[in-house]
Amino acid sequence: MVSMVSRSKVLKFLSASALAVLLAGCGAPLSAHWQGFPPDGPERAAGKGAPQADASAAPGPDCSQVKCVALTFDDGPGPYTASLLDILDEHEAKATFFLIGKDIAKLPEVVREEAARGHEIGNHTWSHQDLAKISVAAAQRELRKTDAAIKEVTGASPTVIRPPYGTIREDLKKSLDLPVAMWSVDTFDWKTRDAKKTIKSAEKVVPGSIVLMHDIHPSTVKAMPTMLADLKARGFHFVTVSQLVGDPKPGTGYETGQQAAAGK
């Protein structure tokens, strides 16, 4: 099922766009109360990646020595995700997928492939709720149901959470047993739906960037070969959020990895 999907096939999908999956607003600005960065410290040691969904995944590059970026894809799985996985493989890129729980059962084989190919799986709530606007108990239900769906399909629990719209209550965040991944580069792919603009947005990437994208948009998947080639030409390695951060702590938010050593 997760075979090579040709570009023409993707375009057919596009024209058959019964798929007006309008999860717009996902890339909303960061909430003002967001607090992210843990201090630089010895714990930010190289190669100390958090547990991955796929234990057989090869260790990533040493992000204290080389330029790394974490590409992240929200709101999937979707009909373009399988072709994205092939593109990532072609560029030896690892990424992080923040999944919508209720959609996992629609494309379980795609989610299995995400994990099997060494990508990181994250929780993006069951039904794309704004976690700042619902009760802590309701938010925990959204997250727990999604945890269970991911575990059922991949055999492993997710390792990171991304709150929809980038908003989460401080008390909820602190109570979480997983780290929270925000972003430092917003491609606005959900808004522009334009591959060229998505490619251009990657010019803002610096070592340690976490890049926000959405694999439910064909324009985003179409942008990836060029974006990956451009970033590779600039010397970047593509790693998961946990690899980028090194040892992310539960209940803590991260907008970037700590990349001072490679910041050139």
Query: Which residues are part of the catalytic machinery?
Result: 74, 214
Q: DSSP per residue over 114-135, as a string?
A: HHHTT-EEEE--SS---TTSS-
- Number of Cβ atoms within 10 Å of the Cβ of 136: 12
Q: Is the dihedral of CA 247, 251, 256, 261 positive or negative?
A: negative
Q: Restricting to residues 136-165, which ones interact with Ni ion according to CB under 5 A?
A: 164
Q: Does 218 bind Ni ion (CB under 5 A)?
A: no
- Which residue number has the CB closest to Ni ion? 26
> Per DSSP, what are the bridge partners of residue 99?
76, 123
Residue from 44, 54, 64, 74 binding Ni ion (CB under 5 A): 74
Minimum distance from residue 26 beta carbon to Ni ion (Å): 3
- d(CA 244, CA 6) in angstroms, rounded, equals 31
CB of 76 or CB of 179, closer to Ni ion? 76
Which one among 5, 26, 63, 262 touches Ni ion, defined by CB under 5 A?
A: 26
* Residue 75 within binding range of Ni ion, rule CB under 5 A: yes
- Smallest gap, in angstroms, from Cβ of residue 231 to Ni ion? 23
Residue 215 interacts with Ni ion (CB under 5 A): yes or no: no
Least distance in angstroms from the C-beta of 67 to Ni ion: 27
- CA torsion, points 70, 159, 104, 72, in degrees to nearest 10? -10
Q: Which residues would be at the binding site for Ni ion (CB under 5 A)?
A: 26, 74-75, 164
